[in-house]
Amino acid sequence: MFGNWMKTGLLMAAIMALFGTLGLALGGRQGMLLALLFGGATNLWAYWFSDKMVLRMYNAREVDAASSPYLYNMVKELAGRAGLPMPRVYIIDEAQPNAFATGRNPEHAAVAATSGILQLLSQRELRGVMAHELAHVKHRDILISTISATVAGAISMLAQFGMFFGSRDDDRPNPAVQLLLAIIAPIAAMLIQFAISRAREFEADRGGAEISGDPLALAAALEKIHAYASGIPMPAAEAHPETGQMMIMNPLSGGSLRGLFSTHPETAQRVQRLRQMARN
């Protein structure tokens, strides 16, 4: 666990380094300082508010035991098994089957499921998925994933509007280099997200299987989601591709350029590991 936190810390530091490098390229020393300040402010803002922002992006609506007893009581039972406080529960009115968790810590966590996943999966399979999301909460992955999504989006915005960094320094590269860096920086941020998300998805699969006590249910759910999700677009995810790594399955369509940079391990690998857990 300590090794994972060290790795994540280094990767988040790399994202901050991207802010500085992009700022230097677009605005010299003054631009680098402004970019680092912007990056620090973005991290601080993301710590407190990114979960609310992401839930708004997906038009998630909060439910309770009265409005959605099936999902709410399932999450309550699993949270008790995991020794976690009861998170807030949301439904996203999207046909694509998917789910995610967000929040800065277990005491301020939320889990969200699409209406598509509620319709597609059996009760046993859905239990496996929600246990996976609660494993993210238990491992305190949710803050890292939400902040990395927010910061990656900020890097893309900074790259697009970087020419507004006015500077009197003479140490800025020529416009061709500036343009190249403005293209490369968001891609680099996405690749860093890929590295952050990949290991954590495997760990959440393992943790979710332990919480639910049913590795094969999560394996079956992943196979179903994989079969359906790629053919059903999710407009909110396409509009905010940096949030895709928060989902249990990559929500981006294959036609999207950013869909090529999947932040998730291969579904077959995940299923194989879960089946191996069931055999042991």
Residue positions annotated with a catalytic role: 133
Helix (H) or strand (E) holding 40: helix 2-57
Quick count: other Cβ atoms within 10 Å of Cβ 262? 18
- Yes or no: say if 138 and 84 are a contact pair by the CB < 8 Å rule: yes
Give CA–CA dist 244/246, Å, rounded: 5
Q: Which DSSP state fits 247? A: B
Which of 141, 127, 118, 144 shows the shortest CA–CA distance to 80? Answer: 127
At 186, list the tokens.
């968001």
Angle at 131 between CA 125 and CA 132, to 5 degrees: 95
- Exposure of 231 in the CB half-sphere (CA atoms within 13 A): 5
Report the number of secondary-structure helices (H) and strands (E) in the chain.
9, 4
| Distance, CA of 244 to CA of 198 (rounded, Å) | 12
Closest C-alpha to 51, from 92, 9, 91, 110: 110
174, exposed or middle or buried, with CB in 10 Å at 0-12, 13-18, 19+?
Answer: exposed
Q: What is the CA angle 26-27-33, rounded to 5?
A: 115
**For residues 2-11, b (16+ Cβ closer than 10 Å) or e, as one string?**
eebeeebeeb
User: The tokens of 248 are what?
Assistant: 């249990």
